[in-house]
Amino acid sequence: MILAIGFDAGLAALIIGLAFWTIAAREAFAAVVAFVSLGLLLALAWVRLAAPDVALTEAAIGGGVTGGMLIAAAARGRAAENLPMPETAALHLRLAAGAVAILATAGLSWVVLSLPEPAPTLAPSAAAYLALTGLENPVNAVLLAYRAIDTLLETIVLLIALLAVWSLSPDRFWGGRPGLPQRKDRNGVLVFLARLLPPIGVLVGIHLFWVGSVAPGGEFQSATVLAAMWIVAWMAGLANPPPIERRGLRLLVVVGPAVFLAIGLSGAITADAFLGYPPDHAKLLIIAIELPVTLTIAATLCLLVVGPPQREPQT
């Protein structure tokens, strides 16, 4: 018991320390490294809170994919970092910014401290109706049945994020291949990894997808692992992203939300509610949604990491 409290206290102290370091670090790259470590420690904290589903997502997306994107952003911004710093802001501006930050922190602390004890919970009703969804993992039942609308909107948000990234491409590159051509790693270490890891990673990704209905896992975690495998191959120069004008690629990034929306709308007829499932076929319909959604999320995450088109359409 004391050991567990000591571990949790140490973990919390480390998380707060790293959070400070993420903000205080002078170089963007150091801040990103701290942020990725923060994500991994947060995943550990979620495990300690008995929320392995959240832990998996935090480690995969918060630490992994976001970290990769931030490293790319830091590398791009590195040239600007060496420019002479502009004058520091005026004192009254800094005081005002500090006051706003303190006010926000105080407000958040007040909200957290005034939460009712024990916290209101829907867990008993979530467990009571679990059988109707055909799933055994209550977290996935929340994501794909009780609060399917949130998940639907999340997949659409991802699509919008991808459009935002693509819209950064200059006109002459529109429709071309995203990202710069990758050099093959001259030492061959990355190439070695990119040949060895994907079979294992793809298996883990499929396992996470399939096990999601009964145990921690699901489409987001699975898609992130699958995306990571393609990203490793891309970084090693073994895989080339297709031009964004290709129809198959465009189909891939919309098929998830489209199928989700179609099944959700059909629920209005078969189950009397938008995003409702007839109880007899609930699990089948949920898998029919999860499969394309996983593919779409994986493809979108890959494309988000690769970035906007930077090559002419013909090449």
Partner 1 sequence: MSFVRDALTIVAVCAGIFFFLAGSVGLLRFPDTLSRLHALTKADNLGLGLIVLGVMLQVEGLLAALKLGAVWLLIVLAGAVVTQLVAAAAYPEEPPP
How many angstroms separate the CA atoms of 290 and 297, rounded? 10
Provide, rounded to whole angstroms, the least separation between the CB of residue 269 and partner 1: 44
Alpha carbon distance 279, 283 (integer Å):
8
Sign of CA dihedral 25, 29, 31, 37: negative
282-306 vs 247-270: helix crossing angle, rounded to 10 = 150
Region of 66-74, 111-119, 140-148, 192-200 interacting with partner 1 (CB under 8 A) = 192-200
> Would the CA dihedral through 60, 63, 66, 71 be positive or negative?
negative
Q: Does 193 bind partner 1 (CB under 8 A)?
A: yes
Identify the residue among 106, 168, 196, 262 touching partner 1 (CB under 8 A).
Answer: 196
Whole-angstrom distance, CA of residue 226 vs CA of residue 100: 41
Report if residue 3 touches partner 1, rule: CB under 8 A.
no
Q: Compute the least distance from the CB of residue 197 to partner 1, in Å.
A: 7
Binding string, 152-191, against partner 1, x = CB under 8 A? ---------------------------------xxx-xx-
Rounded to a whole number of angstroms, the minimum distance from the CB of residue 200 to partner 1 is 7
Report the residue number, 145 or 229, with the smaller CB distance to partner 1: 229
Q: In this complex, which beta carbon is closest to partner 1, that of residue 200 or of residue 284?
A: 200
**In the complex with partner 1, which residue's Cβ is closer, 10 or 107?**
10
Q: How far apart are CA 302 and CA 296, in angstroms?
A: 10
Residue 308: DSSP 8-state:
S
Q: Does 200 bind partner 1 (CB under 8 A)?
A: yes
Query: Residue 273, interface with partner 1 (CB under 8 A)?
Result: no
Using DSSP's 3-state secondary structure scheme, residue 179 falls into strand
Residue type, 297: I
Size of the site for partner 1 (CB under 8 A): 10
- The reply on whether position 197 binds partner 1 by CB under 8 A is yes
Distance CA 276, CA 290 (A): 15
Structure tokens at 3: 């050991």
End-to-end CA distance of the chain: 62
Residue 10 C-beta: closest distance to partner 1, Å: 14
Nearer to partner 1, 121 or 187 (CB): 187
Candidates 192, 214, 245, 273: give the one binding partner 1 (CB under 8 A). 192
> Which C-beta is closer to partner 1: that of 187 or that of 315?
187
Sign of CA dihedral 40, 53, 229, 77: negative
Enumerate binding residues for partner 1 (CB under 8 A).
185-187, 189-190, 192-193, 196-197, 200
